[in-house]
Every structure is written in structure tokens, then in C-alpha cells.
Amino acid sequence: MSRRSGILEFAVLGLLRESPMHGYELRKRLNTSLGVFRAFSYGTLYPCLKTLVANGWLIEEPGSTPEDALAAPLAGRRAKIVYRLTAEGKEHFEELLSQTGPDAYEDETFAARFAFFGQTSRDVRMRVLEGRRSRLEERLEKMRASLARTRERLDDYTLELQRHGMESVEREVRWLNELIESERAGRDLKGSPSGGSAQQNTTSGSTGGLPRPGDISETDTPDETAT
């Protein structure tokens, strides 16, 4: 399984853990609530769902709303399929949430992991945040060393572009420092003590200041009738 497909499967399982949805709802949530997927290919979603069903992590159910029941015969289409997380799917998602290896804080995966921090234990959040910060600090050191070696050979615009890249990494490191400090102090993102789940702070609405270095961008045409 490629890293990109793995990120999508992770996000789908996480969203369906909140509530069952049909394909259109999932597409909308991936596009609007999880900024990392704002440009992902719609055509990749349905094969992903079929794979998750085949693995026993999701089940398909016929849509039961009055709108679905009426729309199918009028439009000549079958009713929308609702996808529901199985017990095995929930267990698999929780296993994925507990992982703190390098894949958890790479550019392509960190934003998706962060989006589900409300469902993640604090010790795991800390390891992922610290891993991400360490990775960026290494990158920043290499960027500074490279700039020092090549500064005299660069034109003004190339030099400015490199400076811009360094400033972006520095901003994310500062942001991570603030998050890590809050986690150590036992505060959630709003600055209050975090007792239970803070899911509403990180998994719904805009992703706020969340960096999106790992945006998934493809160009397939959406299949409006797949579900």
C-alpha cells in the first residue's frame, strides 16, 4: 500500500469512527474539514472504500433516509450506500492512532495525524509532535548550511525564495514548540485543562493554523454516481 493511499484510508476510518456516512458526505468532510485532502482526487475515494470493506473494516448499508428512498426511483439510480465502521475497523484505527514512528510526522502524513489528535492519547501526541519538531530542526539546519555555502552564487530572487522556505520551517517549529508546551502543561488548544476528548477542537471545521505540507493533489474526475 502506498503512503498516499494509507493516509486516505486512515482519514476515512477516522471520520467514520465519528458517524456512518455515505460517499458524498465523506468526500465533503475530506475536502472541507481535513484541509490536507482539499485537492485530493475524488476518483481515489471509492476504490479506497471498497478496499476497506474487503478488509472487514467497513460495512456497506443501504441509505435509509426518505430523500434516498425517493431519489433512487425518480432519478433511475440506486440509493446511496452508507459506510459504517466495524468493530475490527475501530480496532485497526486505534492501532494506527497509536503508531509514533517516522511515518507519523513526515510531510505527507503529519497533517492527517494532527487532524485526529482529539482521538489520540496525550503520550502519543507528544511523541508525534516531538518527532515532527526534530525532523524540521534537522531540515532547518541543513537549509542554513546550504544557504551559507551558496549565498554568493545565488541571485537575489533565488536567495529570497530560500529565505522564505527557511522562515516557513521556522514558523512551524515555533508552532510545534507552543503545542508541546501546552501538552506538557495538560492544556488543550483553547488553553483550558484537558480532561476528556478534545475532538471538537481538532477534527471539525477549519484546520486553522495547521501546516499542510503533505497535501494530496491529483486530477481524476469525480464519480458522482459511485455511491
Using the predicted structure, report yes or no on whether residue 85 has a pLDDT greater than 90.
Answer: yes
pLDDT for the residue 86: 97
pLDDT for the residue 2: 62
Using the predicted structure, report yes or no on whether residue 114 has a pLDDT greater than 90.
Answer: yes
pLDDT for the residue 59: 97
pLDDT for the residue 6: 87
pLDDT for the residue 199: 39
b/e per residue, 139-152, with b = 16+ CB within 10 A? Answer: bbeebeeeeeeeee
The pLDDT tens digits for 162-209 are 999 999 999 999 999 999 999 998 876 655 454 443 333 333 333 333
Report the percent of the chain where pLDDT is more than 90. Answer: 51
Q: Which whole number is the average pLDDT over 49-58?
A: 96
In this prediction, residue 56 has a pLDDT band, given cuts at 50, 70 and 90, of: very high
The C-alpha cell of 99 is what?
A: 503508531
pLDDT for the residue 226: 46
Using the predicted structure, report yes or no on whether residue 142 has a pLDDT greater than 50.
Answer: yes
Q: Which whole number is the average pLDDT over 65-87?
A: 65
What count of other Cβ atoms lies within 10 Å of the Cβ of residue 208?
9
pLDDT for the residue 41: 64
Q: How many CA atoms lie within 13 A of 226 on its CB side?
A: 20
The C-alpha cell of 91 is what?
A: 480496532
What count of other Cβ atoms lies within 10 Å of the Cβ of residue 189?
17
Nearest partner of 193 among 203, 201, 202, 183, judged by Cα: 183
Structure-model confidence comparison of residues 92 and 188, the more confident one? 92
